[in-house]
Amino acid sequence: MMLRSLRLLAFAALFLSPALQAAGPQRVVSLGGPITEIVYALGAGERLVGADASSVYPPATDKLPKVGYYRGFSVEGVIGLQPQLVLASDQSGPPTAMAQIQKLGVPVVLLPSDPSLEALEKRIEGVAAALGLAEAGKQQIARLRAEVAQLTRTPHPVRVLLLSAHSGKLQAAGAGSSPDALLRLVGAQNIFTGKGYKPLSAEAAAALQPDVIVTTTQSAAASGGAAGFLAQPGLAVTPAARNGRIVVMDDLLLLGFGPRLPEALRVLQDGLAPRR
């Protein structure tokens, strides 16, 4: 639903764009997937002349020239696109590259990257202000707040394990990671107590005895779908596998903490809701 409204918004922006042309920079490079998403959500997608490799949503980003991963982007790649503005995650780098871009006279706006509601609002506010769309930004934030508030926060007593499995090795997401923050927002309990993303052995996963396992589309696909994912050694003996309780979410939706936050919360909440 959120997706559709976003598309509508983007569509409307296409028609509104002559009006928007009046203010704000028209050639923008975005460094960071969630930031690119915000630019599109604000209806300013057509101003983007380039993005980093982590910008994979919405599908329109496919057509943008990619300047490398935002933590190691190429200065000349960005400069060559002749941007009037660079929107960058505060994790962008290397630092010398950021300094060089500023030295070349291109304004750089740094945006906070932590996975929290406050940081997301600051991100939207910052992007909107830099694009000269402060009003649209305010509306976006108000809508976001309303939608997040709507999502009930009745605590789920379920014990959740956040897992990814690229190249066959299990990784659990702990405190400070984006999926963990989502889990907190819907009031569920993350039973992995580590910090950030940590490798998890099959035995340790079995010992944690999760009721529900949350993973990403790519991880599930790597082991041949949700059923295959649950059949892995270690996971097969958990209550989650016995009851077939697994939530598979789109990678950027689970990891990105962008303007699609309400959608992410909704998917997560639906997946965690007790079965009748």
Partner 1 sequence: MNTLASRSAAPAPRRWRPAPLQIFIALCVLLVVLALCSAASGAVRIPLGHWLALWSAPADPQATFFRNVLLEVRLPRIVFAIVVGAGLAISGAAMQALFRNPLAEPGLIGVSLGGALGAVGAIVLGAHSLLVIAPAAFAGSLVATFAAYRLGSRQPGVANLLLAGVAINAICASVIGVFTYQATDVQLRNLTFWNMGSLAGASWPMLAWLAPWVLGLSALLIRDWRAMNALLLGEREAQHLGFALRRLRHRIVILAALIVGPLVAVAGTISFVGLVIPHLVRLPLGADHRWLLPNTLVAGALALTLADWVARLIVTPAELPIGIVTALVGGPFLLWMLTRRRA
Considering the rule CB under 8 A, would residue 175 count as an interface residue with partner 1? no
Considering the rule CB under 8 A, would residue 93 count as an interface residue with partner 1? yes
- Name the residue among 154, 155, 189, 156 with its Cα closest to residue 175: 189
Residues 179-218 that bind partner 1 (CB under 8 A): 195-199
Asked if 162 contacts 186 with a C-beta cutoff of 8 angstroms, the reply is no
Considering the rule CB under 8 A, would residue 167 count as an interface residue with partner 1? no
Instruction: Candidates 76-84, 128-136, 179-187, 265-273: pick the segment binding partner 1 (CB under 8 A).
Output: 76-84
Choice between 3 and 99, CB closer to partner 1:
99
Considering the rule CB under 8 A, would residue 104 count as an interface residue with partner 1? yes
Count Cβ atoms within 10 A of the Cβ of residue 54 and give its class: 0-12 exposed, 13-18 middle, 19 or more buried: buried
Count Cβ atoms within 10 A of the Cβ of residue 157 and give its class: 0-12 exposed, 13-18 middle, 19 or more buried: exposed
**From 107, 155, 176, 228, residue interacting with partner 1 (rule: CB under 8 A):** 176
How far apart (Å, rounded) are the C-alpha atoms in residues 252 and 82? Answer: 28
> Please, what is the minimum distance in Å from the beta carbon of residue 72 to partner 1?
7
Considering the rule CB under 8 A, would residue 73 count as an interface residue with partner 1? yes
**From 4, 63, 103, 275, residue interacting with partner 1 (rule: CB under 8 A):** 103
Considering the rule CB under 8 A, would residue 27 count as an interface residue with partner 1? no
* Residues counted in the chain: 276
Considering the rule CB under 8 A, would residue 177 count as an interface residue with partner 1? yes
Tokens of 270: 């639906």
> Please, what is the minimum distance in Å from the beta carbon of residue 67 to partner 1?
5
Q: Is the dihedral of CA 138, 141, 143, 145 positive or negative?
A: negative
Tokens of 103: 């030295």
| Site for partner 1, rule CB under 8 A | 50, 53, 65-69, 71-81, 91, 93-97, 99-100, 103-105, 176-177, 195-199
